[in-house]
Amino acid sequence: MAAVEEIRPTSWAHLQELLFTDPWPGHAGEFHSHLIHRGTIDVAWKLDSSLERLAIVKHEGSLLRNFTKYSRLPGTPDVGKWDWLTIGQHHGLPTRLLDWTYSPLVALHFATTEARSVPMSPTDLYKTDGVVWHLDYVRANERLPDTLKRDLEKQEAFAATTKFLDEHDIDPMNPGRSFPTADPFLLIIEPPSLDDRVVNQYAGLSAMSDLSVPMIDWLEAAPEPIALKIIIPKEMKPEIREKLDKANINERVIYPGLDGLSTWLARYYQSGPRSDWP
């Protein structure tokens, strides 16, 4: 069985089954799902961070330093480096972080609309297949350095908090530096609820310890199934989008505030009648 599997739903009902059913046998003694999800509008997009996509990895330190400097306003709470990285990620700063969510429906939202404030036309939104990724973060943790794995287990946790990472003196610019003899690893991070976006998106994050190792290569090297790639057919996107809006999974909620409201309204009123759906 491949470490990264791929499947294409044939209907809305089939899609819901795929989204809410764990694809692999449950972990012994556990009740809750061990999956985290990520949606993108184009199936061709890689699991690359914004730093990698923009080819500005060498400026990572300068980006975070200046973001911290210029965004610190009176009354800003004293937060750590990983907190600043999280805040920057959720406000468009290029970072090594990759956005995930514990909600498969939030991931489906991002597979059917662009993750930005400028609304796209339905023609652009529905011209390509999308994708929702499932990642088993418990199996990902099996490849963590022993110290991190042991300390997470002591806390009965599967995702590292920003406080945990700061306490272990893990450099957000180079997480692997603290473990020079370890193989590349993937950090699954549970961000603090520093703003409403983190809460409303049921957000999770990931960070590769070494950006020279593509995340997809790391996943495909896993000794057991670890990720599922659900292809979202472009023909299904209009139906999916309508049903997500009906379920209140939209920009107004995902991006609380006037910007999210405006983006939702602009997209909503561009939607054509059902007979015009591709």
| Domain map (residue ranges) of the chain | 4-23+32-276
Rounded to whole angstroms, the Cα distance separating 17 from 11 reads 10
- Taking residues 14-31, report their average pLDDT: 80
State yes or no: pLDDT of 223 exceeds 60: yes
State yes or no: pLDDT of 25 exceeds 60: yes
Tokens of residue 204, six digits? 């999770």
- Spell 3-21 as b/e; 16+ CB within 10 A means b: ebeeeebeeeeebeebbee
Chain segment 103-148, per-residue pLDDT in tens: 999 999 999 987 654 556 666 778 899 999 999 999 999 999 999 9
Which pTM value belongs to this model? 0.91
Q: State the first-to-last Cα distance of the chain, in angstroms, to the nearest integer.
A: 35
- Partner residues linked to 206 by β-bridges: 98, 188
Are 39 and 133 in contact by the 8 Å Cβ rule? The answer is: yes
Q: What is the mean pLDDT of the chain?
A: 89
- Taking residues 75-91, report their average pLDDT: 83
DSSP-based three-state secondary structure for 131: strand
Are 85 and 229 in contact by the 8 Å Cβ rule? The answer is: no
State yes or no: pLDDT of 10 exceeds 90: yes
DSSP 8-state assignment for residue 46: -
- Partner residues linked to 98 by β-bridges: 206
* Range scoring the smallest mean pLDDT among 53-67, 165-179, 220-234: 165-179
Higher-pLDDT residue of 115 and 188 is 188
Q: Residue 79: what pLDDT?
A: 80
Are 211 and 57 in contact by the 8 Å Cβ rule? The answer is: yes
Cα angle at 108 between 105 and 111, to 5 degrees? 165
Cβ neighbours of residue 95 closer than 8 Å, sequence gap 6 or more: 49, 50, 51, 60, 63, 64, 85, 88, 89
Rounded to whole angstroms, the Cα distance separating 5 from 23 reads 10
Q: Residue 77: what pLDDT?
A: 65
Percent of the chain with pLDDT over 90: 64
Q: Residue 126: what pLDDT?
A: 85
DSSP 8-state assignment for residue 32: S
Rounded to whole angstroms, the Cα distance separating 160 from 147 reads 13
Higher-pLDDT residue of 152 and 29 is 152
Q: Residue 116: what pLDDT?
A: 59
Higher-pLDDT residue of 18 and 195 is 18
- Spell 133-149 as b/e; 16+ CB within 10 A means b: bbbbbbbbbebbbeebe
Q: Residue 75: what pLDDT?
A: 65
Tokens of residue 263, six digits? 């983006």
Closest to 263 measured CA to CA, from 104, 121, 124, 136:
121
Q: How confident is the model at residue 80 (pLDDT cuts 50, 70, 90)?
A: confident
User: What contacts 24+ positions apart, CB below 8 Å, involve 264-267?
Assistant: 266/119, 267/113, 267/119, 267/120, 267/122, 267/125
